[in-house]
Structure 1
Amino acid sequence: MRIFWTFFWTFLLVNMVTYVVSSMIGVAYHFETGTTLAVVATVLILLIAQLIPNEPVHH
């Protein structure tokens, strides 16, 4: 369920950013570009979440 919600919100936010940026620079909006970026961003977010330790580090 965690992966689904991560992808869901990443998908919405990345497509929104893609739409706004493409409008600002005057190019056509491509849904495929936003979706591809959302999948890549989701994988990166989940990978970074796995690399961060859960427990505090004792010195």
Structure 2
Amino acid sequence: MKYLWGFIWTFILVHMLTYVAGSMLSAEYDFKMASIYGIGAYILVLIISSILPAPASAEEH
């Protein structure tokens, strides 16, 4: 379930970022390109989360 919500939030936030950045540059909003960016960002988030070590529990401190 965390992967589904992670994908949904990444997808929404990247679309919002693409819209705002394009608006600031007077560019046209492209849903297809924003979706590709969203999928790429989600894959990047998955790779980074698999590389980082898990946080230490309270007993290990």
Structure 2: 5+ residue stretches without partners:
57-61
Partner AA of 1:17 in structure 2:
L
Instruction: Indicate how the Cα distance of structure 1 residues 51 and 24 shifts in structure 2: closer, same or farther if over 3 A, else same.
Output: same
TM-score (norm 2): 0.84
Give the number of aligned pairs: 56
CA deviations 1:5-34 (Å, max 9, x no partner) are 111000110000100111111111000111
| Coordinate RMSD, CA, aligned | 1.1
1:1-59 aligned within 5 A: 1-54=1-54, 56=56
Identity across matched positions, percent: 38
Q: Which runs of 4+ in 1 moved over 2 A?
A: none
TM-score (norm 1): 0.86
| Distance (whole Å) between structure 1 residues aligned to residue 39 and residue 19 of structure 2 | 16
